[in-house]
Structure 1
Amino acid sequence: MGLKSALSRPLAALAASRDRKWQRDPVGTQLVVLRQLSTTAAGTAFGRDHQLAAVRTPADLARQVPVRDYEALKPYFDRTQAGEAHVLWPGHPLYLAKTSGTTSGTKYIPITRASIPNHINGARDALLTYVHRTGRSQFLDGKLIFLSGSPELERVHGIRTGRLSGIANHHVPAYLRRNQLPSYETNIIEDWETKLERIVDETLGQKMTLISGIPPWVQMYFDRLTARTGRPIKDVFPDFNLFVYGGVNFEPYRAKLFESIGRPVDSIELFPASEGFLAFQDEPGNPGLLLLLNSGIFFEFIPAEQFFQPNAPRLTVADVALDQQYAVVLTSNAGLWAYSLGDTVRFVSLRPHRVVVTGRIKHFLSAFGEHVIGEEVEQALREVMAHFPEVEVIEFTVAPLVSDDPVTPSRHEWLVEFARPPRDAPAFAAALDTALRRRNPYYDDLRRGSILVPLQLTSLPGGAFQRYMKGLGKLGGQNKVPRLGNDRKVADALLAAG
């Protein structure tokens, strides 16, 4: 056992002990966080506009600060980006995390001196918790790769600005820096395909033990390694034993990824966002992600079905229930106030509070009133793939096909890029339709009433999703394909890219 591996054991025990303390009183922990936030920011422009000095309880926050998304808070974000101090949080942000928005174009999310530990310590504690739970720490003695955006930052009115993953790269602890790949020179390459080839060059022959990234981009990395060597990943990297991922549901990618590896490896799921590091998988094998209630973020949850209604209830961890869909709202030491994150979650445990990420509040399919969410289509696909073991899926999305022709009624279209297609495509499509009907009663009603006919399965040629993302300038890094849409924009672009 190496020195880093050995030293991680007592650190892991310390982190686990610290987490147990706040888990004993989640409601009290969150109340302390809220009061610290409102007191600290009371003198800012936002604080004065919303009388944050009077905010002592969740009810006060709900009364003083309405729920807003990035677009609604943009006047404050613009003032911060323009270099004005004391707008949303005291002083200037330490960084601006640059991320793509669906309605706002490019978003610039502030990261403050107070909030940067949330991002860095969250990822650190995920690894330490894994060490504590499993006793496995050997991955710290090998090479670690983080497939991320460029760490090269620009300055916007004196504030360092770049992708979150690139910002986080500057805060990798010194004791891990010597283990980290790829090199800085490779990491700053903007073109993803060029960068990927250089990463392959630098990692071949290395003792890789931990690989981290968004699953579809890790799969591209594995495909390049296998194309270069003719070997599965287990033979390319025999010491590889821990996969860390986040950003998308892993299940649609699991089968192909592990086939590429050639053997099982342990994995840890994270729930990172530019707005904050929210949760991580604290128990191996348990899909629930531990919500970080002591990390500078005060959480509110709005029942997803009421999110777009006036005066929708704003619940705290004291009020949530199991197996309900909630939209996540954040108030944080990054200067976010009742900020609608856009993600939906479902609680799978309340002692401690664990969630699974189920989709995006704006990414649902309800062109016919069915309100299908991401979790439902992913679960349906996973169920059907279990009955068609030959099938491997690279990527997929679902869109409506609205028709005014009675001969060809309206339906859902599943656009799927297969690594290995089903031998019986009509049977696969029928099973998908049935699986979705079981999960969504509104879809089932529409099918029973013949308002919708069985879904259409469209198989896309190899590389269609990569070509689509490349055309958007979003190939690689932290970019993700929408699972669902209420229009044909993504679907038609994919068909054109194919």
Structure 2
Amino acid sequence: MSIKSLGAKIFAKHIRKKINKWANNPIKTQKQVFDKLIRSAEDTAFGNDHHFSMIKTHDDFVKSVPIRDYEELRPYVDRVVKGESDVLWPGKPIYFAKTSGTTSGVKYIPLTSDSMPTHISAARNAILCYIAESGNARFVNGKMIFLQGSPELVEKNGINLGRLSGIVAHYVPKYLQKNRLPSWETNCIDDWETKVDAIVEETVNENMTIISGIPPWVQMYFEKLKKKTEKPIGELFKNFELFIYGGVNYEPYKATFEKLIGRKVASIELYPASEGFFAFQDKQNEKGMLLQLDSGMFYEFVKAEEFFEENPKRLTIGDVEVGVNYVMLISSNAGLWAYNIGDTVMFTSTSPYRLVVSGRIKHFISAFGEHVIGKEVEQAIKEAAEATGIMIKEFTVAPQINPEESELPYHEWFVEFQETPEDIEEFALQIDNSLRKQNSYYDDLIVGNVLRTLKVRKVPKNGFNDYMKSIGKLGGQNKLPRLSNDRKIVDSLVITIDK
């Protein structure tokens, strides 16, 4: 065993004990975080406007601070972007994470000297928890790749601005620098396809042990490697042991990945965002990711079914239940307050608090009152793929409200297959059956002849990549929405693939 492997094991045990301490005292931990956040921001512009000096309890906070999304918080953020100090958090941010919003255009999410370390430690702790659980630290001696955005930053009123993954690249510990790929020069390539080709050239002959990134973009990397070498990834990288991912659900890609790799590989799921690093998978055999309760973020939860009511009830960690779909709100040491990040989550455990991302509060289909969510469509296509042996690359779903004359409306699934299946009708029926089991509203609409069973439309090879390229969102941190309540995405997709 190498010195690095031994050191990693010792450090992993130490970190696991620290995590257990706050994970086993969730309510006390969150109360301490809440108090510290309020007291720290009392003298900011936001704190003065919302009477932080008078806030002692969560009820006080609810009365003083309304739920906001980015657009509603924007007047404060704009002041920060212009260079003003002490607006949302004491001082100025050290970075802005630039993201693309679906309704707000470009968003500038502040990262402070207090919040930035949690983005780094959470990813590190996820790997350390795996080492502590498995006893395996061999992979720390090999090469590690993180498919991410460019680390090049620009300045905006004295504050560095860039993609979160690019900002994080500046914080890779020195002891990992020699192990980390791709090179700085390759990471700075803007064009995603050119970048992946360069990454293939740099890594094809290396001892890759950890590979990390959003599943669809890692899949592109694997496919290019296999095309170049005509070898399964697991044979090419004999010591490849750990796949780390986040951003989208891995399950719909899992069968394709295992075929590309040629064997099973352990995986760790992360839940990072520009607004904070919320959770990570801390146990291989437990469903869900451990919610980060001690990372400068105070969480509130609103039942998704109540979210659009005038004054929805805001719950704290001690009030949530397993299996309920919640909108997650955060207040953080980056200066976000009762902030709606747009995600919905479901708890899989409350001892400790583990959750899964169930979808986006604005990404659902309820054109007929069915309220189908992301978790349901992902589960349905996973079960259908397993039942039929069909492997998919990518998919998205939209309602067809105005079908051809005399036909009932339906859900239309646009699917890019790894290999074209012989019987798409059977595949569609398997999806439909799974969705009906999961969602009683959808089942009632089928039984009542309001909807017909769903249809699957085959997307040509690389059709989704061509679509993402056409809207300037190929690669990096960009993700295709799994479902929409209108046809804006699929109509644009059809135009792209029909050219």
* Superposition TM-score tier, normalisation by shorter sequence: over 0.9
1:293-442 matches, within 5 Å, as: 293-389=293-389, 391-403=390-402, 406-442=405-441
Q: Matches of 1:23 and 1:57 in 2, distance apart?
A: 22
Q: Matches of 1:431 and 1:120 in 2, distance apart?
A: 41
Q: Matches of 2:124 and 2:268 in 1, distance apart?
A: 12
Q: Matches of 1:309 and 1:98 in 2, distance apart?
A: 31
Q: What amino acid does structure 1 have at the position aligned with 2:185?
A: E
Q: Matches of 1:52 and 1:467 in 2, distance apart?
A: 49
- State the Cα distance separating 1:198 from its structure 2 match: 0.6
What are the Cα deviations for residues 133-153 of structure 1, in whole angstroms up to 9, with x where unaligned? 111111111111000000000
What are the Cα deviations for residues 88-120 of structure 1, in whole angstroms up to 9, with x where unaligned? 000110100001101000111000000001100
Q: What amino acid does structure 1 have at the position aligned with 2:317?
A: V
1:147 counterpart residue number: 147
Q: Matches of 2:262 and 2:420 in 1, distance apart?
A: 20
1:242 counterpart residue number: 242
1:225-236 matches, within 5 Å, as: 225-236=225-236
SS in 1 for 2:96: strand
1:285 corresponds to 2:285: yes
- State the Cα distance separating 1:285 from its structure 2 match: 2.7
- State the Cα distance separating 1:55 from its structure 2 match: 2.1
SS in 1 for 2:337: strand
1:192 corresponds to 2:199: no
SS in 2 for 1:279: strand
Q: Matches of 1:291 and 1:109 in 2, distance apart?
A: 21
1:439-458 matches, within 5 Å, as: 439-458=438-457
Q: Matches of 2:425 and 2:441 in 1, distance apart?
A: 23
Q: What amino acid does structure 2 have at the position aligned with 1:317?
A: I
- State the Cα distance separating 1:196 from its structure 2 match: 0.6
| Structure 1, 488-497 or 114-123: larger mean CA deviation | 488-497
Q: What amino acid does structure 1 have at the position aligned with 2:313?
A: P
CA 1:24–1:287: 2 relative to 1, 3 Å: closer
Q: Matches of 1:33 and 1:196 in 2, distance apart?
A: 41
Specify every segment of 5 or more residues in structure 1 that has no aligned partner in the other structure, as ranges: none
Q: Matches of 1:388 and 1:411 in 2, distance apart?
A: 22
- State the Cα distance separating 1:85 from its structure 2 match: 0.7
Give aligned-pair identity as a percent: 53
SS in 2 for 1:336: coil
Q: What amino acid does structure 1 have at the position aligned with 2:80?
A: T
User: TM-score, normalised on structure 1?
Assistant: 0.99
1:209 counterpart residue number: 209
SS in 2 for 1:86: coil
2:494 counterpart residue number: 495
| Structure 1, 263-272 or 49-58: larger mean CA deviation | 49-58
- State the Cα distance separating 1:274 from its structure 2 match: 0.5
2:479 counterpart residue number: 480
- State the Cα distance separating 1:333 from its structure 2 match: 0.2
- State the Cα distance separating 1:432 from its structure 2 match: 1.4
Is 1:289–1:356's contact at 8 Å kept on the other side of the alignment? yes
What are the Cα deviations for residues 223-276 of structure 1, in whole angstroms up to 9, with x where unaligned? 010111111101211111100000101011111011100111111000000000
User: TM-score, normalised on structure 2?
Assistant: 0.98
CA 1:248–1:402: 2 relative to 1, 3 Å: same
Q: What amino acid does structure 1 have at the position aligned with 2:490?
A: A
- State the Cα distance separating 1:87 from its structure 2 match: 0.5
SS in 2 for 1:355: strand
What are the Cα deviations for residues 273-299 of structure 1, in whole angstroms up to 9, with x where unaligned? 000000000001322100010110000
Q: Matches of 1:421 and 1:201 in 2, distance apart?
A: 30
Q: What amino acid does structure 1 have at the position aligned with 2:5?
A: S
SS in 2 for 1:420: coil
| Structure 1, 1-10 or 182-191: larger mean CA deviation | 1-10
Is 2:387–2:430's contact at 8 Å kept on the other side of the alignment? no
What are the Cα deviations for residues 315-360 of structure 1, in whole angstroms up to 9, with x where unaligned? 1110000100001000000100000011111101000000011110
Is 2:383–2:430's contact at 8 Å kept on the other side of the alignment? no
1:173-192 matches, within 5 Å, as: 173-192=173-192
Q: Matches of 1:181 and 1:151 in 2, distance apart?
A: 13
1:6-85 matches, within 5 Å, as: 6-85=6-85
Q: Matches of 1:361 and 1:315 in 2, distance apart?
A: 17
SS in 1 for 2:75: helix
- State the Cα distance separating 1:404 from its structure 2 match: 6.8
SS in 2 for 1:412: strand
1:138 corresponds to 2:135: no
Q: Matches of 1:55 and 1:251 in 2, distance apart?
A: 43
Q: Matches of 1:493 and 1:11 in 2, distance apart?
A: 50
Q: What amino acid does structure 1 have at the position aligned with 2:212?
A: S
Specify every segment of 5 or more residues in structure 2 that has no aligned partner in the other structure, as ranges: none
Is 2:245–2:268's contact at 8 Å kept on the other side of the alignment? yes
- State the Cα distance separating 1:222 from its structure 2 match: 0.3
SS in 2 for 1:369: coil
Q: Matches of 1:387 and 1:229 in 2, distance apart?
A: 31
1:252 counterpart residue number: 252
CA 1:141–1:405: 2 relative to 1, 3 Å: closer
Q: Matches of 2:459 and 2:444 in 1, distance apart?
A: 29
Is 1:34–1:56's contact at 8 Å kept on the other side of the alignment? no
What are the Cα deviations for residues 359-400 of structure 1, in whole angstroms up to 9, with x where unaligned? 1011001111111000001111111111101x1100000001
Q: Matches of 2:395 and 2:67 in 1, distance apart?
A: 32
Q: Matches of 1:7 and 1:112 in 2, distance apart?
A: 30
Q: What amino acid does structure 2 have at the position aligned with 1:240?
A: F
What are the Cα deviations for residues 158-193 of structure 1, in whole angstroms up to 9, with x where unaligned? 110000000011011111111100010000000000
Q: What amino acid does structure 2 have at the position aligned with 1:431?
A: Q
Q: Matches of 1:286 and 1:28 in 2, distance apart?
A: 24
- State the Cα distance separating 1:423 from its structure 2 match: 2.0
Q: Matches of 1:98 and 1:133 in 2, distance apart?
A: 35
Is 1:399–1:485's contact at 8 Å kept on the other side of the alignment? yes
Q: Matches of 1:455 and 1:265 in 2, distance apart?
A: 34
Q: What amino acid does structure 1 have at the position aligned with 2:327?
A: A
Q: What amino acid does structure 2 have at the position aligned with 1:438?
A: K
2:460 counterpart residue number: 461
1:266 counterpart residue number: 266
Q: Matches of 2:26 and 2:56 in 1, distance apart?
A: 17
Q: Matches of 2:220 and 2:489 in 1, distance apart?
A: 21
SS in 2 for 1:400: strand
Q: Matches of 2:53 and 2:14 in 1, distance apart?
A: 35
SS in 2 for 1:257: helix
1:92-171 matches, within 5 Å, as: 92-171=92-171
Is 1:192–1:475's contact at 8 Å kept on the other side of the alignment? yes
- State the Cα distance separating 1:9 from its structure 2 match: 1.1
What are the Cα deviations for residues 388-423 of structure 1, in whole angstroms up to 9, with x where unaligned? 01x110000000111276512211100000012332
